[in-house]
Structure 1
Amino acid sequence: MATVLIVDDSTYFRLKLKMELENLGHQVIGEATDGKKAVMLYQQLEPDIVTMDISMPNVGGIEAVRNIMSRDPSATIIMVSAMGQKHHVLEALKLGAKHFIVKPMQEGTVKKVLDKVLN
């Protein structure tokens, strides 16, 4: 079981992802709606995994990844993006994100990605 911080400005998506993660036996220990809050919660909660949306108000996902990775190079961040944001995903991967999930999520995608980053 991993502890997870979900970062996404969509309430619906956070709820959907939380239910899927909990069904897989993981514990969601925090949620953030922008990158600024994500960095703060990461420092406070020290989750095993962060799921990070790319496009959010205030501080976006790329800047949040940059901040988290500068503080903790071993952080496990999974980017979440809509189709058409490939260049942002590649930038996040270069900054240290471990994997990505494309919205809308296909059934089984979260499990496959978590299995890869946890093993």
Structure 2
Amino acid sequence: MAGKILLVDDAAFMRMMLKKIIAPTGHELLEAVDGSDGVAKYKENKPNLVFCDIVMPNVDGIECLKQIMALDSNAKVVMCSSIGQQTVVNDAIKIGARDFIVKPFDAAKVLEAVSKNM
């Protein structure tokens, strides 16, 4: 069943990469340019799944995750980053992230995260 997926990343190129991978699955794709935009779009659209970058200006991914989880404790959020810092990943999982994928995106891993969490 197709649903809504929110892509939160300050890099337009990274959002485009995710869109190219996910679009063929038929899900509706929404975009946010930073964490505060991500929280606003989450409130407005109630997506089924969120892909959220960790390092962003204004509101970073960890704070975005905290705010989304405060709005909806059942939110499904997959964190994305080129930073393989285990402590950040562990923090995100403790806060409520469902998964973590590393940039550059591996299409198979992205699609696996979609199928696992939709």
The answer to whether residue 49 in structure 2 is matched with residue 64 in structure 1 is no
* CA shift digits 1:40-96 (9 cap, x unpaired): 110001100010000000000000100110110000101001143322121111001
CA–CA distance in structure 1, aligned partners of residues 110 and 86 of structure 2: 18
Q: Secondary structure of 1:108's match?
A: helix
Q: Secondary structure of 2:19's match?
A: helix
Matched to 1:23, the amino acid is: P
Q: Higher relative contact order at CA 8 Å, sep ≥6: structure 1 or structure 2? A: 2
Q: What are the ranges of 5 or more consecutive residues in structure 1 without an aligned counterpart?
A: none
Corresponding residue pairs, total? 117
Q: What are the ranges of 5 or more consecutive residues in structure 2 without an aligned counterpart?
A: none
2:24 corresponding residue in structure 1: 23
Q: Secondary structure of 2:107's match?
A: coil
CA–CA distance in structure 1, aligned partners of residues 116 and 107 of structure 2: 16
| TM-score of the aligned structures, taking structure 1 as reference length | 0.92
Alpha-carbon offset, residue 104 of structure 1: 0.9
2:13 corresponding residue in structure 1: 12
Matched to 1:100, the amino acid is: F
- Spell out the pairing of 1:37-116 with structure 2 (5 A cutoff): 37-116=37-116
